[in-house]
Amino acid sequence: MPVDQQYLDYVVDQLSEFGEFSHKKMFGGVGFFREKIFFAGIMDGVFRLRVDDENLADFEAYGMSAWGAKGRKMTMPYYEVPEEILADKEKLAEWTNKAYQVALRISEEKSKKGKSESKS
């Protein structure tokens, strides 16, 4: 599904309170990055943020669930941002910062794990 440019522009504008980030089209969607860390995406035409135990309750309180690629049973830890949050730049910045912290922590853990495995 091609990315709706109007929706992408809207999401980028709504993220203005979050600070610096970049985005690029990838895999039929759009990836959002800060300092090369992938923290969000537009997947299947919907804006989603990275989730783990630290911010899961925020999404579950709105009835959101993990994204699953069509035709696959596997899910990915990216959850749809509720429209109410997407419409509020300040709340969106809070949620996005949490998602970025999740992605950053996971990236650091993978990096540490890779370094310890290479020493073995």
Establish if 116 belongs to a structural domain: no
pTM: 0.88
- Give CA separation, 94 vs 43, 82, 105, in Å: 21, 13, 17
Alpha carbon distance 23, 54 (integer Å): 24
Quick: pLDDT tens for 38-47.
999 999 999 9
Quick: pLDDT tens for 45-75.
999 999 999 999 999 999 998 887 666 666 7
Quick: pLDDT tens for 88-105.
999 999 999 999 999 999
What is the domain count for the chain?
Answer: 1
Q: Domain containing 89 — which CATH number?
A: 3.30.1460.30
- Domain containing 32 equals 5-109
Establish if 117 belongs to a structural domain: no
DSSP reduced 3-state for 102: helix
In sequence order, the 6+-apart residues with CB closer than 8 A to the CB of 51 are 59, 66, 77, 78, 79, 99, 102
Give the pLDDT band (50/70/90) at residue 10: very high
pLDDT for res 69: 60
